Chain A
Amino acid sequence: MKTRICLLIVVLANAVGNVLLSYGMRQVGSIASSSPLELALSSVRAMANPYVLAGVAVLVVFLLTHMILLSWADLSYILPMTSAGYILVTLLSWWLLEENVKTLRWLGTALIVAGMVLVGGTPVSTTKKS
Protein backbone atom coordinates (compact mmCIF):
# COMPACT_ATOMS: atom_id res chain seq x y z
CA MET A 1 0.00 0.00 0.00
CA LYS A 2 2.70 2.52 0.99
CA THR A 3 4.60 1.49 -2.14
CA ARG A 4 1.60 2.35 -4.34
CA ILE A 5 0.96 5.71 -2.66
CA CYS A 6 4.63 6.70 -2.96
CA LEU A 7 4.72 5.56 -6.61
CA LEU A 8 1.65 7.69 -7.34
CA ILE A 9 3.28 10.77 -5.74
CA VAL A 10 6.56 10.13 -7.61
CA VAL A 11 4.80 9.83 -10.99
CA LEU A 12 2.53 12.85 -10.49
CA ALA A 13 5.29 15.09 -9.08
CA ASN A 14 7.64 14.12 -11.90
CA ALA A 15 5.06 14.88 -14.62
CA VAL A 16 3.84 18.16 -13.10
CA GLY A 17 7.41 19.26 -12.33
CA ASN A 18 8.57 18.62 -15.89
CA VAL A 19 5.59 20.42 -17.43
CA LEU A 20 6.22 23.50 -15.25
CA LEU A 21 9.93 23.34 -16.03
CA SER A 22 9.57 23.09 -19.81
CA TYR A 23 6.91 25.85 -19.82
CA GLY A 24 9.30 28.10 -17.91
CA MET A 25 12.31 27.17 -20.04
CA ARG A 26 10.42 28.12 -23.20
CA GLN A 27 9.89 31.58 -21.71
CA VAL A 28 13.59 31.82 -20.87
CA GLY A 29 14.62 30.90 -24.42
CA SER A 30 17.06 28.36 -25.83
CA ILE A 31 20.45 27.79 -24.29
CA ALA A 32 23.15 27.75 -26.94
CA SER A 33 26.63 27.28 -25.56
CA SER A 34 29.49 24.88 -25.93
CA SER A 35 31.09 24.51 -22.51
CA PRO A 36 29.53 22.58 -19.61
CA LEU A 37 30.36 25.49 -17.29
CA GLU A 38 28.42 27.97 -19.43
CA LEU A 39 25.57 25.47 -19.62
CA ALA A 40 25.44 25.21 -15.83
CA LEU A 41 25.51 29.01 -15.48
CA SER A 42 22.62 29.42 -17.94
CA SER A 43 20.64 26.81 -15.99
CA VAL A 44 21.19 28.76 -12.78
CA ARG A 45 20.06 31.98 -14.51
CA ALA A 46 16.89 30.19 -15.67
CA MET A 47 15.96 29.67 -12.01
CA ALA A 48 14.84 33.30 -11.86
CA ASN A 49 11.73 32.34 -13.88
CA PRO A 50 8.77 31.56 -11.54
CA TYR A 51 7.63 28.50 -13.56
CA VAL A 52 11.15 27.09 -13.53
CA LEU A 53 11.34 27.70 -9.78
CA ALA A 54 7.94 26.04 -9.16
CA GLY A 55 9.00 23.14 -11.38
CA VAL A 56 12.20 22.68 -9.38
CA ALA A 57 10.20 22.76 -6.08
CA VAL A 58 7.84 20.03 -7.33
CA LEU A 59 10.83 18.01 -8.55
CA VAL A 60 12.32 18.22 -5.04
CA VAL A 61 9.11 16.54 -3.76
CA PHE A 62 9.69 13.92 -6.47
CA LEU A 63 13.28 13.37 -5.32
CA LEU A 64 12.37 13.04 -1.61
CA THR A 65 9.51 10.59 -2.29
CA HIS A 66 11.80 8.60 -4.58
CA MET A 67 14.35 8.39 -1.72
CA ILE A 68 11.67 7.23 0.72
CA LEU A 69 10.56 4.57 -1.76
CA LEU A 70 14.14 3.31 -2.23
CA SER A 71 14.47 2.75 1.52
CA TRP A 72 12.55 -0.51 1.02
CA ALA A 73 11.92 -1.09 -2.70
CA ASP A 74 14.24 -2.50 -5.39
CA LEU A 75 15.69 -0.02 -7.90
CA SER A 76 14.89 -2.52 -10.66
CA TYR A 77 11.25 -2.48 -9.49
CA ILE A 78 10.93 1.31 -9.18
CA LEU A 79 12.50 2.21 -12.54
CA PRO A 80 9.95 0.56 -14.85
CA MET A 81 7.01 1.43 -12.58
CA THR A 82 7.77 5.16 -12.60
CA SER A 83 7.49 5.21 -16.40
CA ALA A 84 3.71 5.44 -15.83
CA GLY A 85 4.42 9.15 -16.30
CA TYR A 86 4.67 8.61 -20.08
CA ILE A 87 1.19 7.07 -20.08
CA LEU A 88 -0.12 10.00 -18.06
CA VAL A 89 1.33 12.53 -20.51
CA THR A 90 -0.15 10.67 -23.53
CA LEU A 91 -3.60 10.42 -21.94
CA LEU A 92 -3.57 14.07 -20.83
CA SER A 93 -2.48 15.38 -24.22
CA TRP A 94 -5.19 13.29 -25.92
CA TRP A 95 -7.96 14.02 -23.45
CA LEU A 96 -7.29 17.55 -22.16
CA LEU A 97 -5.28 19.15 -24.96
CA GLU A 98 -7.24 17.19 -27.61
CA GLU A 99 -4.00 16.47 -29.46
CA ASN A 100 -4.01 13.92 -32.23
CA VAL A 101 -2.11 10.95 -30.77
CA LYS A 102 -0.31 8.87 -33.43
CA THR A 103 -0.86 5.10 -33.66
CA LEU A 104 2.83 4.50 -32.92
CA ARG A 105 2.45 6.44 -29.70
CA TRP A 106 -0.58 4.38 -28.61
CA LEU A 107 1.44 1.26 -29.38
CA GLY A 108 4.31 2.53 -27.21
CA THR A 109 1.86 3.35 -24.42
CA ALA A 110 0.41 -0.18 -24.64
CA LEU A 111 3.94 -1.68 -24.38
CA ILE A 112 4.66 0.42 -21.27
CA VAL A 113 1.38 -0.72 -19.66
CA ALA A 114 2.22 -4.36 -20.46
CA GLY A 115 5.74 -3.95 -19.04
CA MET A 116 4.39 -2.37 -15.87
CA VAL A 117 1.88 -5.20 -15.38
CA LEU A 118 4.76 -7.71 -15.66
CA VAL A 119 7.07 -5.83 -13.26
CA GLY A 120 4.15 -5.08 -10.90
CA GLY A 121 3.72 -8.83 -10.45
CA THR A 122 7.28 -9.26 -9.10
CA PRO A 123 8.15 -8.74 -5.40
CA VAL A 124 8.81 -5.10 -4.41
CA SER A 125 11.93 -6.01 -2.45
CA THR A 126 14.37 -8.86 -3.09
CA THR A 127 17.41 -7.80 -1.06
CA LYS A 128 17.81 -9.18 2.46
CA LYS A 129 18.74 -5.99 4.30
CA SER A 130 15.36 -4.25 3.97
Chain B
Amino acid sequence: MTFFLVALVVTGNAAGYLFQTMGMKQGGAIEDFRLGALTRTLWAAFRNRWVALSIPALALSFFAFMGLVSVADLSFAVPATAAGYVMETLLARYILKESVSRRRWAGAALVACGVVLISL
Protein backbone atom coordinates (compact mmCIF):
# COMPACT_ATOMS: atom_id res chain seq x y z
CA MET B 1 0.00 0.00 0.00
CA THR B 2 2.74 2.43 1.01
CA PHE B 3 4.80 1.87 -2.14
CA PHE B 4 1.71 1.98 -4.31
CA LEU B 5 0.98 5.43 -2.85
CA VAL B 6 4.59 6.60 -3.37
CA ALA B 7 4.34 5.49 -7.02
CA LEU B 8 1.04 7.36 -7.42
CA VAL B 9 2.49 10.53 -5.86
CA VAL B 10 5.61 10.49 -8.04
CA THR B 11 4.04 9.55 -11.39
CA GLY B 12 0.98 11.78 -10.88
CA ASN B 13 3.20 14.74 -10.09
CA ALA B 14 5.61 14.11 -12.98
CA ALA B 15 2.81 13.59 -15.51
CA GLY B 16 0.91 16.62 -14.18
CA TYR B 17 3.84 19.03 -14.48
CA LEU B 18 4.83 17.58 -17.84
CA PHE B 19 1.31 18.18 -19.24
CA GLN B 20 1.10 21.62 -17.61
CA THR B 21 4.40 22.74 -19.13
CA MET B 22 3.40 21.47 -22.58
CA GLY B 23 0.04 23.25 -22.42
CA MET B 24 1.31 26.55 -21.01
CA LYS B 25 4.16 26.73 -23.54
CA GLN B 26 1.60 26.43 -26.37
CA GLY B 27 -0.10 29.61 -25.16
CA GLY B 28 3.18 31.54 -25.13
CA ALA B 29 4.73 33.66 -22.39
CA ILE B 30 2.22 35.61 -20.30
CA GLU B 31 3.08 39.33 -20.41
CA ASP B 32 -0.11 41.11 -19.28
CA PHE B 33 -0.51 40.87 -15.52
CA ARG B 34 -3.58 43.09 -15.13
CA LEU B 35 -6.30 41.13 -13.32
CA GLY B 36 -8.81 41.08 -16.18
CA ALA B 37 -6.31 40.02 -18.80
CA LEU B 38 -4.77 37.44 -16.48
CA THR B 39 -8.18 35.92 -15.69
CA ARG B 40 -8.97 35.65 -19.41
CA THR B 41 -5.57 34.10 -20.17
CA LEU B 42 -5.89 31.53 -17.39
CA TRP B 43 -9.47 30.74 -18.39
CA ALA B 44 -8.26 30.08 -21.92
CA ALA B 45 -5.35 28.02 -20.56
CA PHE B 46 -7.72 25.65 -18.77
CA ARG B 47 -9.38 24.92 -22.11
CA ASN B 48 -6.06 23.69 -23.48
CA ARG B 49 -6.30 19.87 -23.32
CA TRP B 50 -2.81 19.44 -21.83
CA VAL B 51 -3.49 21.92 -19.06
CA ALA B 52 -6.91 20.30 -18.47
CA LEU B 53 -5.22 16.87 -18.26
CA SER B 54 -2.64 18.15 -15.79
CA ILE B 55 -5.30 18.95 -13.15
CA PRO B 56 -6.56 15.37 -12.54
CA ALA B 57 -2.96 14.11 -12.61
CA LEU B 58 -1.86 16.65 -9.98
CA ALA B 59 -5.03 16.04 -7.94
CA LEU B 60 -4.30 12.29 -7.96
CA SER B 61 -0.77 12.99 -6.74
CA PHE B 62 -2.09 15.38 -4.07
CA PHE B 63 -4.66 12.95 -2.66
CA ALA B 64 -2.16 10.09 -2.80
CA PHE B 65 0.27 12.23 -0.77
CA MET B 66 -2.45 12.96 1.79
CA GLY B 67 -3.08 9.22 2.00
CA LEU B 68 0.65 8.51 2.22
CA VAL B 69 1.28 10.80 5.19
CA SER B 70 -1.65 9.20 7.00
CA VAL B 71 -0.12 5.71 6.70
CA ALA B 72 3.60 6.61 6.80
CA ASP B 73 5.84 9.13 8.58
CA LEU B 74 6.51 12.45 6.90
CA SER B 75 10.22 11.62 7.25
CA PHE B 76 9.62 8.68 4.91
CA ALA B 77 7.13 10.40 2.60
CA VAL B 78 9.23 13.46 1.74
CA PRO B 79 12.51 11.75 0.70
CA ALA B 80 10.58 8.96 -1.06
CA THR B 81 8.79 11.50 -3.22
CA ALA B 82 12.00 13.55 -3.71
CA ALA B 83 12.97 10.76 -6.12
CA GLY B 84 10.51 12.47 -8.44
CA TYR B 85 12.97 15.36 -8.96
CA VAL B 86 15.35 13.20 -10.94
CA MET B 87 12.53 11.68 -12.99
CA GLU B 88 11.01 15.09 -13.76
CA THR B 89 14.35 16.57 -14.80
CA LEU B 90 14.85 13.60 -17.17
CA LEU B 91 11.35 14.12 -18.62
CA ALA B 92 12.04 17.85 -19.05
CA ARG B 93 15.27 17.02 -20.88
CA TYR B 94 13.99 14.29 -23.20
CA ILE B 95 10.30 15.07 -23.72
CA LEU B 96 10.13 18.85 -23.30
CA LYS B 97 13.56 19.22 -25.01
CA GLU B 98 14.81 21.66 -22.40
CA SER B 99 18.55 22.00 -22.39
CA VAL B 100 19.70 20.75 -19.01
CA SER B 101 23.32 21.86 -18.64
CA ARG B 102 25.79 20.18 -16.28
CA ARG B 103 25.38 23.12 -13.97
CA ARG B 104 21.61 22.61 -13.83
CA TRP B 105 21.99 18.83 -13.32
CA ALA B 106 24.42 19.44 -10.47
CA GLY B 107 22.05 21.96 -8.88
CA ALA B 108 19.02 19.66 -9.18
CA ALA B 109 21.03 16.76 -7.68
CA LEU B 110 22.21 18.92 -4.76
CA VAL B 111 18.64 20.04 -4.08
CA ALA B 112 17.37 16.42 -4.15
CA CYS B 113 20.13 15.33 -1.71
CA GLY B 114 19.33 18.30 0.52
CA VAL B 115 15.62 17.37 0.62
CA VAL B 116 16.53 13.80 1.64
CA LEU B 117 18.89 15.01 4.41
CA ILE B 118 16.33 17.48 5.75
CA SER B 119 13.71 14.80 6.30
CA LEU B 120 15.91 12.05 7.74
**Chain A residues within CB distance 8 Å of chain B:** 2, 22, 25, 30-32, 34, 36, 39-40, 43, 46, 63-64, 66-68, 70-72, 74-77, 79-80, 83, 86, 90, 104-105, 107-122, 126-127, 129-130
Contact of B25 among A70, A113, A118 (CB under 8 A): A70
Does A25 lie within 8 Å of B66, measured CB to CB?
yes
**Residues of A close to B28: CB separation below 8 A:** 71, 129-130
Does B63 lie within 8 Å of A43, measured CB to CB?
yes
**Residues of B close to A67: CB separation below 8 A:** 20, 24, 42, 45, 51
**Residues of A close to B64: CB separation below 8 A:** 36, 39
**Residues of A close to B117: CB separation below 8 A:** 104-105, 107-108, 111
Which of A46, A64, A118, A122 has the largest count of B CB atoms less than 10 A from its CB? A118
Does B89 lie within 8 Å of A76, measured CB to CB?
yes
Complex A-B, nearest 3 residue pairs according to Cβ-Cβ distance, in ascending order: A108-B117, A115-B110, A118-B107
CA distance in complex: A47, B45 (Å): 26
Overall SS of chain B's interface: helix
Interface residues on chain B, size class: 35 or more
Does B33 lie within 8 Å of A118, measured CB to CB?
no
Q: Please judge, given known A-B contacts A71-B27, A111-B117, whether A119 and B97 are in contact too, CB under 8 Å.
A: no
**Residues of B close to A126: CB separation below 8 A:** 98-99
**From residue A37, how far is it (CB to closest CB) to chain B in Å?**
11
Within 74-97 of B, Cβ neighbours of A (below 8 Å) are at 85, 88-89, 91-93, 96-97
Does A70 lie within 8 Å of B103, measured CB to CB?
no
CA distance in complex: A49, B107 (Å): 39
**Residues of A close to B116: CB separation below 8 A:** 108
**Residues of B close to A64: CB separation below 8 A:** 42
**Residues of A close to B100: CB separation below 8 A:** 76
**Residues of A close to B109: CB separation below 8 A:** 115
